[in-house]
């Protein structure tokens, strides 16, 4: 089984980490922009976005939610987004993202797809299970 798409790990941190490109837009105005997200399998949510993403897309908070983390609970705003990624056959989808210190992609976003964290070759790969 060959992957449909692979991304190299980012070497901007040590150790290097897997990342993926995802296109985001506000729900009010179609203004898709490409952003890079760190793959964080310890994050149960969909996407964590930074304040710079919020500013770039002119997003407005929809509400807030209590988030439980390893260091305690925190009330954080969440933002509705239009999300797409042709690389993983994700057509325009509405998701909610929370504010995080860096852009992260969590397990709820990765679910129902086949992924490979390839630490030998330092890449993150997607397999389209619909074509197998």
Does some domain include residue 110? yes
Residue 41 has a pLDDT of 87
pLDDT on residue 132: 46
Residue 6 lies in a domain: no
What is the CATH number for 33?
Answer: 2.40.70.10
Q: What is the pLDDT of residue 130?
A: 63
CA nearest to 78, candidates 101, 48, 56: 48
pLDDT digits (tens, 9 = 90+) for 23-69: 999 999 889 999 999 999 888 899 999 999 999 999 999 999 988 87
Rounded Cα distance between 58 and 29, Å, is 9
Is residue 121 one of the residues assigned to a domain? yes
Percent above pLDDT 90 for the chain: 48
Return the pLDDT at 21: 92
Assess if residue 1 is contained within a domain.
no
Q: Is residue 13 part of a domain?
A: no
pLDDT of residue 74: 87
What is the distance between the alpha carbons of residues 111 and 25, in angstroms, rounded to a whole number? 21
Q: Give φ, ψ of 88 to 5 degrees.
A: -120, 20
Residue 70 has pLDDT above 90, yes or no: no
Query: Is the pLDDT confidence value at 90 over 70?
Result: yes
Q: Determine, yes or no, domain membership for 91.
A: yes
In a domain, 86, yes or no: yes
Query: Contact 88/76 with Cβ under 8 angstroms?
Result: no
Residue 49 belongs to a domain: yes
As given in the structure block, the two tokens for residue 88 are 């993983």
Asked, as a colleague might, if the bond just before 15 is cis with ω within 30 of 0, I would say yes
**How many domains are contained in the chain?**
1
Domain ranges, residue 59: 18-127
DSSP-H helix ranges across 1-131: 51-57, 107-110
């Amino acid at each position: 089984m060959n992957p449909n798409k692979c991304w190299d790990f980012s070497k901007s941190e040590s150790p290097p980490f897997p990342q993926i490109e995802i296109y985001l837009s506000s729900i009010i105005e179609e203004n898709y922009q490409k952003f890079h997200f760190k793959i964080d399998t310890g994050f149960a949510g969909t996407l964590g976005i930074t304040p710079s993403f919020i500013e770039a897309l002119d997003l407005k908070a929809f509400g807030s939610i209590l988030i439980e983390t390893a260091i305690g609970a925190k009330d954080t705003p969440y933002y509705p987004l239009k999300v797409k990624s042709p690389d993983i056959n994700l057509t325009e989808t509405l998701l909610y993202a929370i504010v995080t210190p860096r852009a992260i992609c969590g397990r709820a976003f990765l679910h129902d797809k086949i992924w490979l964290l390839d630490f030998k070759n330092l890449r993150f790969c997607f397999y389209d299970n619909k074509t197998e």
